[in-house]
Amino acid sequence: MIGVKTHTLPGKVGEVKADFARAAVRTIGRMAAYQRAVERDLMQDAPKGIASAPGTAPHSHSRTSRRGTTMKTFKDFIFFKPEGKGFDTRFVVGPDAPSKGRRKNWAERIGKTHEFGGTTTVEKRVVYRPVRAGEGGGTGLKGHRGRFRSKGVVLFNKGERTFDFTIHNTKKMRSGKVMFLISHKATDPKRPFAAPALRKTTAAMRQGKFK
């Protein structure tokens, strides 16, 4: 018969727990980074105005500013960040956005609409210019003198609204241009990106990818 005596090592218990916590956090952190990368990869780039098929991840619409710089798209706002410490550490993955200005929580709202479907409020700045001689036609803006035209959005056609919207502000610009800040409701079907990415992350974990 073999007898075994065990001894508690108080000085080492804390070290073991700390090492285990660090290893667990590293693993979870790798999973979170992988989840974020998959979510971003699922969003294929497409020209503005071309939406992905319902049930698939939303498209990313890259565009260049007048200064020639590449502007951020929705997928650029997909982040992951740790919360808590030690064994209580968890990682949050998903869309985040600047907390100030007109676009406050923009990515969070868009992300929720894409993932679950639903109705959201869309804000746009629309610049109209006077119709030039020889162009003909134009868009009559109710309550504003003259006739104006915009490349992006047609608010009025022959004095009638083309869709329901609210004008929040107007601003006269150079050369007779007028800027409108408008908002309208848009209803979108589900275009999930987080759930498909989570399934892929779970499969990778089962395969031992994050050890």
Residues 86 and 159 in one domain: no
pLDDT category of residue 4 using cuts at 50, 70 and 90: very low
Contact by Cβ (8 Å): 121, 183: yes
153: CB partners within 8 A, 6+ apart: 124, 126, 182
- How crowded is the C-beta side of 72, counted as CA atoms within 13 Å? 12
Residues 59 and 35 in one domain: yes
Residues 75 and 167 in one domain: no
Residues 136 and 195 in one domain: no
Contact by Cβ (8 Å): 62, 70: yes
At 8 the three-state DSSP class reads coil
Is 5 within the bounds of a domain? no
Q: Which two tokens stand for residue 173?
A: 């610009």
Is 183 within the bounds of a domain? yes
| Chain-centre distance for alpha carbon 62 | 13
Is 4 within the bounds of a domain? no
| Average pLDDT score over residue span 83-108 | 78
Q: pLDDT digits over 7-60, tens only? A: 454 555 556 667 767 777 888 899 999 999 999 999 999 988 888 999 999 999
Look at residue 211 in the predicted model and tell me its pLDDT: 78
Look at residue 37 in the predicted model and tell me its pLDDT: 95
User: Which ranges in the chain belong to alpha helices (H)?
Assistant: 10-42, 106-116, 194-206
List, in sequence order, every residue forming a beta bridge with 161; answer none if it has no partner.
Answer: 156
Is 168 within the bounds of a domain? yes
Asked whether residue 200 carries a pLDDT value surpassing 90, the answer given is: yes
Residues 109 and 21 in one domain: yes
Is 84 within the bounds of a domain? yes
- State which residues form the domain around 169: 118-188
Q: Which two tokens stand for residue 129?
A: 């210019």
pTM of the model: 0.70
Short-list 109, 116, 43, 49, CA closest to 75: 43
When divided into structural domains, the chain yields a total of 2
Which regions of 40-188 does DSSP assign to beta strands (E)? 78-83, 90-95, 118-130, 139-140, 147-149, 156-157, 160-161, 166-172, 178-188
Residues 61 and 154 in one domain: no
Asked whether residue 202 carries a pLDDT value surpassing 90, the answer given is: yes
Residues 88 and 128 in one domain: no
Residues 73 and 148 in one domain: no
Alpha carbon distance 199, 51 (integer Å): 23
Q: pLDDT digits over 128-177, tens only? A: 877 666 555 556 565 565 566 677 777 777 667 788 888 888 888 877 78
Strands of 178-188's sheet, edge to edge? 139-140, 147-149, 118-130, 178-188, 166-172
Residues 131 and 52 in one domain: no
